[in-house]
């Protein structure tokens, strides 16, 4: 069975919450379905997605269990003739979608805090 090769440019196209790839140690992973399961939260995956995340992955010191989980998302290798490209910061691309762009994300906790203060101290 031959291994599918992907260029850095191809990986960079998979750069959103609904379609997110990542490169670690020259291998390409489709981590789209893993985002909700990631113990460190989806934000770190979104920030490091669509590019080579080997450095950040190693810096965290992932366990052998984490490396075993990663195998499940393997889809191919980086084409050795491909050259890395600059990828825009992912957090900026996602800031307008989902909960991050929703003002209720801040207003609801503030309303709950105000209600708690009212009932605890003012009433």
* Domain presence at residue 96: no
For range 64-68, the mean pLDDT: 94
Q: What is the mean pLDDT of the chain?
A: 86
- Domain count of the chain? 1
What confidence score (pLDDT) does residue 91 get?
Answer: 46
Q: Is 103 a member of any domain?
A: no
Q: Can you give the CATH number for the domain in which 46 is found?
A: 3.10.120.10
For residue 82, being part of any structural domain is answered with: yes
For the record, the structure tokens of 123 come out as 């009433």
Please report whether residue 121 resides in a domain: no
Lowest mean pLDDT among 14-28, 30-44, 60-74, 96-110: 96-110
pLDDT in the model for residue 101: 55
Q: Is residue 105 part of a domain?
A: no
33 in a domain, yes or no?
Answer: yes
Residue 3 pLDDT > 90: yes
Is 83 strand, coil or helix?
coil
Structural domain range at position 52: 5-90
How much is the average pLDDT of 32-43? Answer: 92
Q: Looking at residue 93, what is its pLDDT?
A: 47
Give domain status of residue 100, yes or no. no
The CA distance from 121 to 23, in Å, is 53
The two tokens of residue 119 are 């009932």
77 occurs within a structural domain: yes
23 forms beta bridges with 28, 52
- Weakest mean pLDDT among 10-14, 40-44, 45-49, 96-100: 96-100
């Amino acid at each position: 069975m031959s291994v599918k090769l992907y260029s850095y440019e191809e990986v960079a196209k998979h750069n959103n919450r609904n379609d997110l790839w990542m490169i670690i140690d020259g291998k390409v992973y489709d981590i789209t379905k893993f985002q909700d399961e990631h113990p460190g939260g989806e934000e770190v995956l979104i920030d490091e997605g669509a590019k080579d995340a080997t450095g950040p992955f190693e810096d965290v010191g992932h366990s052998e269990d984490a490396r075993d989980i990663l195998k499940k998302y393997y889809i191919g290798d980086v084409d050795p003739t491909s050259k890395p490209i600059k990828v825009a910061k992912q957090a900026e691309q996602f800031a307008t979608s989902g909960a991050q762009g929703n003002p209720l994300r801040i207003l609801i906790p503030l309303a709950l805090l105000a209600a708690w203060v009212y009932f605890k101290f003012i009433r």
